[in-house]
Chain A
Amino acid sequence: MSLQIQLVTGGYTRRPILKEVSFDVSDGELVGLIGLNGAGKSTTIKHIMGLLEPFEGNITLNGKTINEDSIEYRKNIGFVPETPVLYDEMTLKEHIEITAMAYGIEKEMAFKRAEPLLSLFRLKDRLEWFPSDFSKGMKQKVMIVCAFLIEPSLYVIDEPFLGLDPLAIRDLLKLMEERKQAGASILMSTHVLTNAEKICDSFVILHDGKVFAKGNLKELQLEFQMPGASLDEIYGRLADEEGFAV
């Protein structure tokens, strides 16, 4: 069992945003975190990253909480944030170096791992460029390269598709599939439900800080009595019925 979230209540101030959220991401599993803007997706991710502390409940990665061994915990997570955040004064190459340094990877090893990623995302001849001058999609690619070269046991990917070109989306999906096969767990939040449906093994639907439903597509279809429906349709129905849209 890789990532376990048990009855987590938490938020930024004392007012809880998340209320008793529980779900797991097993080894080799890709879980889609679905929810409207403000449903608590990013807050959940911040708790997983240890940037916020739960008021109640706990989060374990490979059986350990962040308080037991924060370095080990963090080294096992590769994180792609929602908006690319990069250093203004560093080149792409230096971004790879700093990632290697932070995650304790040998420099040669890091570049060896980065190489196929860089060519996949057509960044190979931009190593000496400043990513802060890149377009949004290219910045996002840099974030993806840096997260994937860590080869962690858990990937946390926050809304990866916005700004990426169709080719890059396809490549990213393929990449995630590969890592999944290799045994990594992936938690991905997204609004792009068709992509999510294509690759996710199961879904966690958040609404108003609570887990509204979870399970794979079959289970969701069964639970909401919509056999054969797509994730988009189920979610749309849910949203209408529950008045999410308001």
Chain B
Amino acid sequence: MTIQSLFKQRSSIHFKQLSRYMKYVLNDHFVLALLLILGAAGFGYSNYVQTIEQGAILPRLILLILMVGVVAGGTITTLMQQADIAFLLPLESEVIPVLKKGVLKSLLILAFPVAFVSAAAMPLLVATQGISFNVWPLFLVTSVLFKYIDLNFQFMSFFQSDVVKRGLYTHAGKIISLLGFTLSIFVELSIGLIFSLTIILIQFIYSKKMNQASNRLQWNDVIAKEENRQQKLYRFINLFTEVSFVESHPRRLKWLDKIIEFQSGKFPQPHYFYILRSFYRNPSYSGLVSRLVLIGVLLISFSTTIVLNLMLSVLFLYLIGFQLMPIYQQFKQNFYFQLYPIQETGKIKSIQRLITEVLAVVLVIFTLTGLARDIYSGASILLVGIIFILLFTRLYLPKRLKRMEQF
């Protein structure tokens, strides 16, 4: 056994597992919904681009945020594990090159979303800068280089023992890419490219120097970051299928206490009492709903016809309701609900109630978004939404949950 073979084995297990889960993620529902959203977004986007004039500032600001966002996403896949602290410490000097290789491997994967967004950005750049589509490779290379810079900084952060410095290195790539994309988007693409190449050169010289200083690997930090990365991934997959190793780190969110208490009522059922708190305090549920609501509101306000409006609002109500269903697993994970002297039916009822309430609030938000355009949009969204919520929570949901129970 060598350290290389060990990590090779880990990576093959990791990717095998991911590809198995991917089958569930890319199920028919999701692919259909994704196509619909992409279609609607593309349609809205192309309409929007036509209204943009050369030199417009606001669209480019949005683009800047998007580009920095996509470059900031994604960390180095190190595949380090807790047990490494107990077993591999003396092999630090052999582990480091493996991690270094991880930078390039991660870039290979993370370059795809960057490439996709940079391609999607081109119409906007063409419209605002008055350039031709042929210069896309320039922008693509610049964008991928910024991701590379970001990963390099992340790698350097692995060696910082001081927390503040470590945080600085972890996030330096985002700041650099913000500066760089500002040059690319607001000044000229080639200047952004020159900027990125300069930074890479500086990084290269600096990292050579750092090697000689023999900084030591911060094992705990590297492992915590890897766990964090995997948890994010698995939490996403967990929206589609049950993943056994999802740990959630609930947050207290004190400001929500009043709402939770109000929603609980005076004599809540134990199931509802628990599931309500799980929903609000577990970012994988409440965060998901807020993200979907935000995207839904944006798409609805950008879409031009009532029919599209209706389709989008029902689609997003469905997505939110559907993605919330796995919250049912909370009961399985909680040992106490097998001990409490309470009726089993409370489980399904509590989920029904929670999802109904969440969807009702979402519907109000969508209706208000529709009303901002005209009264017909608002009224029709409200009406169709109510019918959908009733059908979804009364007919579809209990059946689905019962089926989940069997697995």
Chain A residues with CB under 8 Å of chain B are 12-14, 46, 49-53, 66-67, 70-71, 74-75, 77, 79, 81, 85-87, 89, 94-95, 97-99, 101-104, 143, 146
Contact = CB atoms under 8 A, between A and B. Distances in A.
Contacts of B13: 89
B1 A94 contact: yes
Contact of B86 (A14, A53, A71, A85): A85
Contact of A98 (B1, B82, B162): B1
A102 B219 contact: no
B91 A102 contact: yes
Across the A-B interface, the 4 shortest Cβ-Cβ residue pairs: A53-B161, A74-B90, A85-B83, A85-B82
Given A66-B216, A98-B6, A49 B162 contact: no
Contacts of A146: 86-87
A75 to B, nearest CB: 5
Nearest to A54: B161
Contacts of A53: 161, 216
Given A70-B92, A85-B83, A98-B1, 16 more contacts: A14-B163, A14-B164, A46-B220, A50-B89, A50-B216, A66-B216, A70-B93, A75-B90, A81-B86, A87-B87, A89-B9, A89-B10, A101-B2, A101-B91, A146-B86, A146-B87
A52 B1 contact: no
Nearest to A77: B89
A6 B76 CA distance: 37
B88 interface: yes
B230 interface: no
B27 interface: no
Interface in B298-332: none
A103 B90 contact: yes
Interface string B80-100: 011101111111110000000
B163 A51 contact: no
Contacts of A81: 85-86
Contacts of A87: 81, 83, 87
A98 B92 CA distance: 14
Nearest to A94: B1
A80 B236 CA distance: 35
11 contacts: A50-B216, A52-B220, A70-B92, A71-B92, A85-B86, A87-B81, A89-B13, A94-B1, A98-B6, A101-B3, A104-B90
Contacts of B163: 12-14
